[in-house]
A and B are shown apart, each in its own frame.
Chain A
């Protein structure tokens, strides 16, 4: 936004300031006590006002090429050329208005303009430079504010994603179905009902505790996934088989909490639960130099009816994508859909001090999840 053109009051103040600046060339041509001073002011005012209008677009130059060390010379040269051109044009106009006045009143001002050309040109250059300095300052203030706003918006987005994640933590559908299973088991198999209560409590406690921490180890996260899958196994029975393979190094990597959980829940809700015969949910975690790679794979029924209810497919995954974008640089979540098999792959950079092998290259990992 142009600091002068964006507001009417600013524009009026700006033009008045230039009118005031016309006193300077008038003073060069005739001292304030001189009877010719009002005439000199009358001659200087129109060209000076025009100069003021003429330098308005300099703001865009100042904003486009801020003063920075590489390229500083060329910026200064451009300003110098513009300053000289502006001052020369202004001097020419001044000469014109002075001659016009001379034609009316024979004040000899035109001759004065020619005689004092050096002082007048210097004044024109100084006026231009004052404006350029003002615009440069205004531009850098605006840039600083804009980047503050951007940073605030980014942190807000990260927080929102986090919040949405925590809210989505326990799906009501899962909870109510589990309660229904407990209700069924209380008569048929009281021991199993009690077991399910404990497993459900473990899962709820775990997700609350994990959600409060800044980072957790992958092993902790997988512990929670196991508690969740135990509950689902009681509901789904033999349809749900689980195969979790984690290398010892991968288990120790610290990640934002509840990052894996949506992938696992997705694999059950939109995968195993859609297959009448069920299948195996496979989680594999390993490290490569500098990276943690986690894959979650499951079968699904391509002919399954679409689900519109709670935790619709894609929402959980999109949330994970947003969170890793907010917490890491160089992290990715990719998904692959084969005929009847769905695989999601999470790749996260590892902090050097957190990886066991200190030779791995460090990647900067800023973000609200890292404390």
Chain B
């Protein structure tokens, strides 16, 4: 992506506090190589503007209405550079420190802003080293799991409470999320999704399938060696040998 004078770096701001946006606007305006392409006051607007204005770099607040910073990150193209901005949120800070994503701690100096910018320019156009899910998993207190999933569904953002997810299925670089009659594709690995969900509720029954435990009704043999799990909805999910072992361990834990 361009960072030459003719082709300035396109920057987007997402922060719900007007003074915080104004500060970034001022710092960006003072920088010749930066062009501000938009300002979002909440997470949903940030996703929308990122889609329409194609920024190279996004200054992203963590706590915002609609979607938080980590959820916004999940819905962005992986090529967009991101600098998180936050005042104080020890879990978010933990995530940044562990995962080497650049961040600005509010309030910050002009020098610190310039430094973040330099680092971001070096990374522009490259893929982020860690997945957004890994980052937001690290930003939750220990023992706390995702309560909802965010999915980009064409132009709109779908929010799926975890309780409504029946199962997820690996589809190449995507996962297919299924809830009753509805299903979505999300750019995420099944491993990443599994890591963000409560292991007491979700079971990896197969390399390609993650199932919400309370949706299971029974296990049926399908051939001499193969077995399938039948969900309440009637869907049949293949169960691998290791999946069967996990299911037995899970049933033991659940005390059934």
Which A residues contact B (CB, under 8 angstroms)?
A: 172-173, 175-177, 179-185, 187-188, 234-237, 273-276, 301, 303-310
Contacts and interface: CB of A to CB of B under 8 A. Distances in A.
Nearest to B18: A237
Given A184-B22, A308-B144, A173 B87 contact: yes
B17 A183 contact: no
B65 interface: yes
B144 A176 contact: no
Nearest to A192: B19
Interface stretch (B88-96, B123-131, B167-175, B243-251): B88-96
A200 to B, nearest CB: 13
Contacts of A307: 63, 68
Nearest to A183: B107
Interface string B147-176: 110000000000100000000000000000
A169 to B, nearest CB: 15
A276 B42 contact: yes
B17 A276 contact: no
23 contacts: A173-B87, A173-B88, A176-B105, A177-B17, A177-B106, A180-B23, A180-B87, A184-B19, A184-B20, A184-B23, A184-B26, A185-B22, A236-B16, A273-B16, A275-B65, A276-B42, A303-B66, A305-B43, A305-B71, A306-B148, A308-B141, A308-B144, A309-B92
Contacts, number: 100
Given A172-B87, A180-B106, A310-B90, 4 more contacts: A184-B23, A187-B26, A274-B65, A305-B71
A172 B63 CA distance: 14
B65 A304 contact: yes
Contacts of B63: 173, 273, 307, 309
Given A180-B107, A308-B140, A276 B19 contact: no
Contacts of B105: 176
B205 interface: no
B65 A176 contact: no
